[in-house]
């Protein structure tokens, strides 16, 4: 084929335009809403379509894309969280440890039973107690000293809404964390008492249940809730359960992550017959021990997958503080925001003027992010070297297959063609990710919708986002 004929064929072939996107964006569901869209070529970084690209809007959980990208870039794909068990001296031949048993945290959010068990582990507190027992310790003369100094103790972000603080998705963020920093309450609807029997799924000293759950005369009811522990550690349970109904445990966020960690580990140590004479010391660092008894390490990918595929707020906030600790020596919401801003400016190459980086998960309604910043971050990660690129891309939900996109875009050719992160808080719906088109291109895109009419639901916004993705895959 001659070069002239090839040029003529290329000129006559239909070229991708934004007309299909504009048709979708003109739907009545978006009337009055503030909508921003950016589509760019992930290989070249060239912008192909934009609508209000630099308007700072609430991103909801699309904020997690910025946090996880900054974590992969700043911490490195081979980064591991480490929780170390230390002592000032070796335990004696009789199993007596003369001083303190010291636990040093690094902000690991993956110390959860549901995360560890598939890898052959057990609950994190039991696993730590097993390490202590394997080191030959049977009696600790000092205290269980908890070093959480790598993070600050601002457990929750000041701009999180008060009503969210009793929910598991707004659990505290600390350097020593386990089980998502939640107590897990289980109910037995087979009990014969005046109310359904309730207990904690694992023994945790210092917490008590105030059970005000009642039997329901209606069949199939399992409507239960729990208030965040009072200062004295009492958890009030409310609701109704039908006899014989089996429901999921209720996760109750605590107020102090380090206290929960210590109480859980102390209970697990007692379960192994290990005495700790001095109880728990919550005094921060207090100096590190010279003898390492053992450690638990978890790779970054576990936290990354929980953050992006499962949209786990608490995990993401730990990553947010971790990048702050990497940059400034101590993790906090403020240092995490500064580290993320530096990442956007220096690595992604976008301006942060007008943006508000309040938290890492998008739970805060103070966040403001542009569609350009999100799309550019995705394009930057797609172009980043291995293994960072692969780790980040694998952490994204795949349309029609897994994560929060399991039930979206399930039909061919869209199934598997989009890797993205969804987002929702009241009045805000978002979707940003990467699309592999039928023509072989890879597109980075961001769709932010703020302030849609109250007569519409997030499901209506999802349909619009999915149709925009169909346009990208089919016509570009």
Cα angle: 434, vertex 393, 23; to 5 degrees:
10
Task: Report residue 284 as tokens.
Answer: 């921060």
The single-letter DSSP state of residue 180 is G
Name the catalytic one among 73, 311, 397, 430: 311
Residue 439 appears among annotated catalytic residues? no
Asked if 266 and 279 count as a contact pair (C-beta separation under 8 A), the reply is yes
Q: Which residues pair with 84 in a beta bridge?
A: 104, 295
The domains of the chain, with CATH numbers, are 13-77+301-475 (3.40.710.10), 80-300 (no CATH)
**Separation CA 300–CA 164 (nearest Å):** 27
Q: pLDDT for 297-353, tens place per residue? A: 999 999 999 999 999 999 999 999 999 999 999 999 999 999 999 999 999 999 999
Name the catalytic one among 64, 309, 321, 421: 64
Give the chain's end-to-end CA distance (angstroms, integer): 25
Residue 332 appears among annotated catalytic residues? no
Name the catalytic one among 61, 106, 335, 361: 61
Within 8 A by CB and 6+ apart from 132, the residues are 85, 101, 269, 272, 274, 293, 294
Residue 351 appears among annotated catalytic residues? no
Residue with tokens 């978890």: 298
**Separation CA 282–CA 105 (nearest Å):** 13
Per-residue pLDDT tens listing for the chain (476 residues): 454 443 433 333 344 556 889 999 999 999 999 999 999 999 999 999 999 999 999 999 999 999 999 999 999 999 999 999 999 999 999 999 999 999 999 999 999 999 998 776 789 999 999 999 999 999 999 999 999 999 999 999 999 999 999 999 999 999 999 999 999 999 988 877 888 999 998 878 889 999 999 999 999 999 999 989 999 999 999 999 999 888 889 999 999 999 999 999 999 999 999 999 999 998 765 556 789 999 999 999 999 999 999 999 999 999 999 999 999 999 999 999 999 999 999 999 999 999 999 999 999 999 999 999 999 999 999 999 999 999 999 999 999 999 999 999 999 999 999 999 999 999 999 999 999 999 999 999 999 999 999 999 999 999 999 999 999 999 88
Residue with tokens 């969210």: 164
């Amino acid at each position: 084929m001659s070069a002239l004929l090839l040029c003529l064929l290329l000129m006559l072939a239909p070229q991708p335009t934004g007309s299909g996107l504009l048709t979708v964006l003109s739907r009545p569901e978006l009337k009055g809403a503030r909508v921003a869209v950016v589509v760019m070529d992930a290989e070249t970084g060239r912008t192909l379509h934009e609508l209000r690209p630099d308007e700072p809007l609430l991103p909801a959980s699309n904020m997690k894309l910025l946090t996880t990208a900054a974590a992969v870039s700043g911490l490195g794909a081979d980064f591991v969280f480490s929780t170390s068990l230390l002592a000032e001296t070796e335990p004696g031949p009789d199993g007596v440890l003369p001083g303190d048993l010291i636990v040093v945290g690094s902000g690991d959010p993956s110390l959860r039973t549901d995360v560890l068990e598939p890898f052959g582990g057990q609950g994190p507190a039991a696993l730590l107690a097993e390490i202590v027992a394997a080191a030959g310790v049977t009696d600790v003369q000092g205290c269980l000293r908890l070093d959480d100094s790598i993070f600050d103790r601002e457990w929750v972000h000041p701009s999180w809404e008060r009503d969210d603080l009793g929910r598991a998705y707004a659990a505290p963020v600390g350097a020593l964390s386990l089980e998502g920093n939640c107590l897990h309450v289980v109910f037995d609807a087979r009990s014969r008492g005046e109310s359904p029997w309730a207990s904690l799924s694992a023994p945790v000293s210092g917490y008590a249940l105030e059970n005000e759950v009642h039997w329901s005369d209606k069949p199939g009811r399992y409507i239960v809730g729990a208030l965040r522990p009072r200062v004295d550690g009492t958890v009030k349970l409310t609701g109704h359960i039908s006899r014989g109904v089996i429901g999921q445990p209720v996760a109750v966020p605590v107020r102090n992550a380090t206290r929960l960690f210590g109480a859980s580990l102390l209970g697990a140590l007692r379960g192994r017959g290990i005495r700790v004479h001095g109880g728990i010391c919550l005094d921060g660092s207090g100096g590190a021990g010279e003898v390492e008894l053992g450690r638990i390490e978890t790779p970054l990918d576990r936290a990354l997958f929980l953050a992006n595929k499962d949209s786990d707020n608490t995990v993401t906030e730990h990553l947010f503080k971790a990048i702050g600790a990497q940059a400034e020596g101590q993790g906090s919401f403020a240092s995490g925001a500064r580290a993320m801003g530096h990442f956007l400016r220096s690595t992604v190459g976008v301006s942060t003027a007008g943006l508000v980086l309040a938290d890492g998960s998008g739970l805060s309604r103070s966040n403001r992010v542009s569609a350009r910043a999100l799309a550019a971050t995705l394009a930057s990660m797609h172009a980043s070297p291995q293994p960072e690129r692969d780790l980040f891309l694998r952490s994204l939900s795949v349309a029609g297959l897994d994560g929060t996109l399991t039930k979206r875009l399930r039909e061919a050719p869209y199934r598997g063609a989009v890797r993205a992160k969804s987002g929702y808080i009241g009045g805000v719906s978002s979707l940003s990710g990467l699309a592999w088109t039928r023509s072989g291109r890879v597109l980075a895109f961001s769709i932010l919708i703020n302030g849609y009419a109250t007569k519409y639901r997030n499901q209506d916004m999802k349909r619009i986002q999915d149709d925009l993705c169909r346009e990208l895959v089919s016509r570009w």
